[in-house]
Amino acid sequence: MKSFRRELWFQVPDRRAFVNITRQVEECLRESGIQEGLCLVNAMHITASVFINDDEGGLHQDFERWLEELAPHEPLSRYRHNLTGEDNGDAHIKRTLMGREVVVAITEGRLDFGPWEQIFYGEFDGRRKKRVLVKIIGE
């Protein structure tokens, strides 16, 4: 069995954003040479996520609104975490809601997606460098 590891780095200029990283993950798969196996993609920061969904702007706005309703950024005093001097208590909750990682099957050298599926990096406390791990195993 072969194994491939790569870190993707992102620095989103805004506090929150959704970035389609499907092409970067597909490039990792090409470089790995793996034809059959599994691809793990996970955010390596506790205020960011990786998830699979449709690349449709209205849907992303719906996610943004829904997350802000469930875990609003302000007032900062809402979160005990922010008493430590941080202002990102909401970002930790948003990451938990959207998830840490995805695993995608690899079939005949391609990510084995359903219709419209894409991989996204979700940033909830941006403006600094963060990384995503791509780990591919198989033959």
- Series of mean pLDDT values for 10-residue runs along the chain (139 residues): 98 96 98 98 98 97 98 96 96 98 98 97 97 98
- The number of folded domains in the chain is 1
Please name the residue that has the structure tokens 């195993």: 137
H-helix segments, 71-125: 89-98
CATH number of residue 105's parent domain: 2.60.120.460
pLDDT at position 54 is 98
37: containing domain: 2-138
Taking the model in full, what pTM does it have? 0.96
Q: Report strand pairing: 118-123 vs 17-20.
A: antiparallel
